[in-house]
């Protein structure tokens, strides 16, 4: 079938986006063509294809599909709706605060900022209630958030109340002039009374939701440790 080359991306009645291809697109990979047409990342489009959410002329395509140049694609995709973050009166363990930043002890089980599946009950919701306003550098979803902790990790977090403080705190973390100290209970025998661990931190190749020590491609992480006490 032939399509008007001036036809644009539209939404059909079935809730999908329709994208016409032209003769100039012949032999292009579908994931590259659709990523460019829809302004999505290629990995995002590949996930949609793998999930069977992309059709060409009514037929589900495979990962290695190459264009004939006359297809009409249907992509079951809708951009994520913006999340409106509301202040919530959630108790916080506030260790220190001034006009520029606030230091809180984040509890285990609390998500730092809203995301898919976690629109309420986050640290950001609580901070907006207790502080009134936060730095806007990271947008409305992550206001004031300079560094993160996982949901199931408790610990001290420093949050910026204004943009100047945010820039300064981020620079300290980047330049490694900010030092984080942890008290850890370790299972097993520690051979040396003190030492240094140097590694790279990146996405776990087996589970992209987690971070792990990796052989290459991660950020340098340096930890100096010393033993305070040993138990039988």
From 70, 100, 150, 168, active-site residue: 150
Q: CA 18, CA 10: separation in Å to the nearest integer?
A: 5
Cα 206–Cα 212–Cα 214 angle in degrees, nearest 5: 90
Give the Cβ contact number of residue 4 at 10 Å: 8
Residues paired with residue 134 on neighbouring β-strands, in sequence order: none
DSSP track, 130-169: HHS----TTTTTSTTB-S---TT--EEEEEESSHHHHHHH
Element (H, E) at 49: helix 42-50
Whether 210 contacts 202, CB under 8 Å: no
The distance of Cα 197 from the centroid of its chain, to the nearest Å, equals 26
Q: CA 105, CA 94: separation in Å to the nearest integer?
A: 6
Tokens read off for 101: 């930043």
Tokens read off for 55: 């059709």
**What are the residue ranges of helices labelled H in 51-201?**
123-131, 163-174
Q: Is 99 an active-site residue?
A: no
Residues that are catalytic: 150
């Amino acid at each position: 079938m032939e399509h008007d080359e001036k036809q644009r991306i539209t939404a059909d009645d079935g809730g999908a986006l329709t994208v016409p291809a032209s003769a100039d697109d012949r032999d292009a990979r579908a994931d590259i063509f659709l990523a460019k047409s829809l302004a999505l990342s290629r990995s995002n489009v590949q996930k949609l294809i793998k999930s069977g959410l992309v059709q060409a002329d009514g037929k589900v395509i495979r990962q290695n599909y190459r264009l004939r140049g006359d297809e009409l694609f249907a992509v079951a995709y809708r951009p994520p709706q913006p999340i409106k973050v509301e202040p919530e009166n959630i108790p916080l363990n506030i260790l220190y605060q001034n006009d520029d930043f606030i230091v809180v002890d984040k509890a285990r089980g609390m998500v730092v900022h809203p995301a898919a599946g976690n629109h309420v009950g986050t640290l950001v919701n609580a901070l907006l209630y207790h502080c009134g306003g936060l730095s806007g550098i990271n947008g409305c979803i992550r206001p004031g958030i300079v560094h993160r902790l996982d949901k199931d990790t408790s610990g001290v977090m420093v949050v910026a109340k204004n943009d100047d403080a945010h820039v300064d705190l981020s620079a300290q973390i980047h330049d490694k002039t900010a030092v984080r100290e942890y008290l850890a209970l370790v299972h097993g025998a520690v051979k040396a009374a003190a030492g240094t661990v140097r590694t790279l931190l990146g996405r776990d190749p087996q589970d992209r939701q987690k971070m792990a020590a990796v052989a290459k491609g991660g950020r340098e992480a340096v930890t100096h440790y010393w033993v305070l006490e040993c138990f039988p």
